[in-house]
Amino acid sequence: MSPFAGRKCLVTGGLGFIGSNLAHALVQAGADVTIVDALIRTHGGDPYNIADIAEAVHVNLSDLRDEATLRHLVRGQQFVFHLAGQVSHGDSMRDPELDLGTNCVSTINLVEACRHEAKDAVLVYASTRQVYGIAKRLPVDEDHPTVPIDVNGINKLAAEYYHLLYHRTYDLRSVVLRLTNTYGPRQQIRNTAQGFIGVFLYRALKGLPIDVFGTGEQRRDFHHVDDVVDAMMQAAVTEACHGRVLNLGGTRPWSLNEVLGILQQHCRFEFRHVPFPADRKLIDIGDYVGDWSRFHELTGWRPRTTLPEGLAQTIAFFRQHAEHYLR
């Protein structure tokens, strides 16, 4: 029997990309799932993401910046997966106050609410490899210095510390997972603020030309959303993870040119290399490869979906649901 069977689980940002995939997995595991989402389209929220499980979950349209609502929502929850937030690095530089609210204020409200109303819950927070900034060595492990180079990275790092502080001070069990480039079904690929892999997928599927900043030889790791969901669920029920910050990652690093080559096996489009726009260059981290061995040692988790397999499956999903995701 699944450790989530019959358990009360709250997913913040549950109408978004990763959150909706997590909600599907929790429903399949027999959990009693509540989704809270502010339904901000630029942040990825979309009711269609849970259309096939809508009758199996509870949905509350609320903003986590509203402290009063949160106490009611977290009361009695046994697992809280915190995925709500703003993820665009560029948008964080253009509107730092909004990023502060969605990533920091919402997080402090959530941990405060849990401290009072769900003190026995386990919290899992979806952070980002952006907290490391420009890598000084590869692969990047959890001991690497954290020197964020954009507002989003700073606020995500602060949100990590809120979880760790409440774990240490109030025994509010928390796990922080640092994600890298995530892709897969239900990603808001029409929205350019959701990361370059989404932009690549959308334009490839539409047959539109793609501009690649720089040489395209930048190396990144990628993980399929199913592997991320599996990691979050394992982290929640593995006591050795509680109070820790842990990296996730992919099966191997790929250059952007290699990613585009895989996409061209499934879609007809052209791409070209162009100079970095000045504002993008300021916040580009260059090469990044995450070392996820520590998480593997604690849980046995490893990414199982290779990038060619995952992109093929993702493209098939978006073609099947083209009327909604590609309009």
**Quick one: angle between helices 106-117 and 67-74, nearest 10?**
40
The residue type found at 34 is: T
Q: Tokens 């915190």 map to which residue?
A: 82
Q: Tell me how far apart the alpha carbons of residues 10 and 233 are, in angstroms, rounded to a whole number.
A: 12
What would the mean pLDDT of 46-65 be, rounded to a whole number? 95
Q: Give the whole-number percent of the chain exceeding pLDDT 70.
A: 99
Q: For residue 171, which phi and psi values (nearest 5 degrees)?
A: 55, 35
Q: Convert the pLDDT of each residue in 121-158 to its tens digit.
A: 999 999 999 999 999 999 999 999 999 999 999 999 99
- The CB density around residue 32, as the number of other CB atoms within 10 Å, is 19
Rounded to two decimals, what is the model's pTM?
A: 0.96
The residue ranges of DSSP E strands in the chain, in sequence order, are 8-12, 32-37, 57-61, 79-82, 122-128, 174-179, 181-183, 210-213, 219-224, 245-247, 253-255, 271-274
Q: Tell me how far apart the alpha carbons of residues 281 and 287 are, in angstroms, rounded to a whole number.
A: 13
Whose CA is closest to 83, among 64, 100, 67? 64
Tokens coding 14: 């549950």
Average pLDDT, the chain: 95
Whether 327 has a pLDDT exceeding 90, the answer reads no
Q: Convert the pLDDT of each residue in 7-31 to its tens digit.
A: 999 999 999 999 999 999 999 999 9
Burial category of 300 from C-beta neighbours within 10 Å (exposed 0-12, middle 13-18, buried 19 and up): exposed
Whether 41 has a pLDDT exceeding 70, the answer reads no
How many helices (H) and strands (E) are present in the chain, helices listed first?
13, 12
CA 22 to chain centre: 11
The residue type found at 306 is: T
Burial category of 240 from C-beta neighbours within 10 Å (exposed 0-12, middle 13-18, buried 19 and up): exposed
Whether 88 has a pLDDT exceeding 90, the answer reads no
Q: Tokens 């929220």 map to which residue?
A: 45
pLDDT band of residue 77 (cuts 50, 70, 90) is very high
Q: What is the pLDDT of residue 249?
A: 97
Q: Convert the pLDDT of each residue in 163-215 to its tens digit.
A: 999 999 999 999 999 999 999 999 999 887 778 999 999 999 999 999 999 99
Q: Tell me how far apart the alpha carbons of residues 132 and 291 are, in angstroms, rounded to a whole number.
A: 12
Structural domains in the chain, CATH included, are 8-184+224-249+289-304 (3.40.50.720)
